[in-house]
Amino acid sequence: MRSMNKKYVHGYDLRENIRLQDQASTLVELLHSDTSYPAGSQVLEAGCGVGAQTINLARNSPHAHIISIDISESSVAEAKKKIEGVGFKNVSFQLGDIFNLAFEPESLDHIFVCFVLEHLTQPLDALDSLKNLLKVSGTITVIEGDHGSTYFYPDNDLAHRAIQCQVELQKRAGGNANIGRELYPLLNAVGFNSIQVSPRMVYVDSSKPQLVEGFTKNTFTAMIEGIRETSIEAGLIDKNTFDEGIKGLYRTTETDGVFCYTFFKAIATK
């Protein structure tokens, strides 16, 4: 588990799995609509987790061969079950560590990485390892969030403080919850070419009830609620402040509320 953030890893418990599924289905159009790979191409999905993105990759690229890997055996097993359950035949699964994958150098046409770099202490090394596996002219697609991009109405300082606990915990564990804004410099530092980063803002108001439920409540606020005990135990915040912050996040889901969050999607060439 080299470079892995050991204290805060998505994909391992039931609630987290449900959250990742919600997150994926709500955001499919925003994040995936422009990703499809040509027939016959070999595509590595690095850090597939429980398969929340795998299903979209498989659907959008029916004639590509997707190889989805993860370091967590239970996540790989769950992803496999999920994909087999919906009958896709274009995905194979492997247990593997991004830093030490069993592929020949320059053997893959494309690589896809989503919500993984934010958890790694050495994202540059991860990108470098992945680059070695890509054929010249192959592409890498990276999607990450950035918690610093969160703003909402009504604004609420305590809600920002609760969110900041997540940023701080992830930092203490070696990750970076604000990594979205760094995709260009990271890919550039590793020597990728033609880097194009596009911010993908999720804008939610009460005219979009599916996003209010699927994103503001069940994805973002559920994620922050999930770090309540850890944040209090770590002395980052007291109970009341945290709970008032969560109330502030829920307040944005009322009729006059608005919630915004920006993901960053980068596509670059070797």
Ligand X SMILES: C[S@@+](CC[C@H](N)C(=O)[O-])C[C@H]1O[C@@H](n2cnc3c(N)ncnc32)[C@H](O)[C@@H]1O
Binding site for ligand X (CB under 6 A): 4, 9-11, 20, 24, 47-49, 52-53, 70-72, 75, 97-99, 114-116, 119
Nearer to ligand X (CB atom), residue 100 or residue 255: 100
Ranked by CB distance to ligand X, the top (closest) residue is 49
- Tell me if residue 90 falls in helix, strand or coil: coil
Nearer to ligand X (CB atom), residue 158 or residue 223: 223
Nearer to ligand X (CB atom), residue 120 or residue 158: 120
Q: Extract the tokens encoding 173.
A: 């564990």
- Which stretch of DSSP H or E encloses residue 135? strand 134-144
Q: How far is the CB of 256 from ligand X (least distance, A)?
A: 32
Q: How far is the CB of 267 from ligand X (least distance, A)?
A: 16
Nearest to 265 by CA among 65, 105, 56: 56
Q: How far is the CB of 155 from ligand X (least distance, A)?
A: 28
Nearer to ligand X (CB atom), residue 52 or residue 91: 52
Q: How far is the CB of 61 from ligand X (least distance, A)?
A: 16
Residue count (the chain)? 270
Residue type present at position 13:
D
The Cα–Cα gap between 260 and 253 comes to: 11
Nearest to 224 by CA among 243, 202, 209, 238: 243
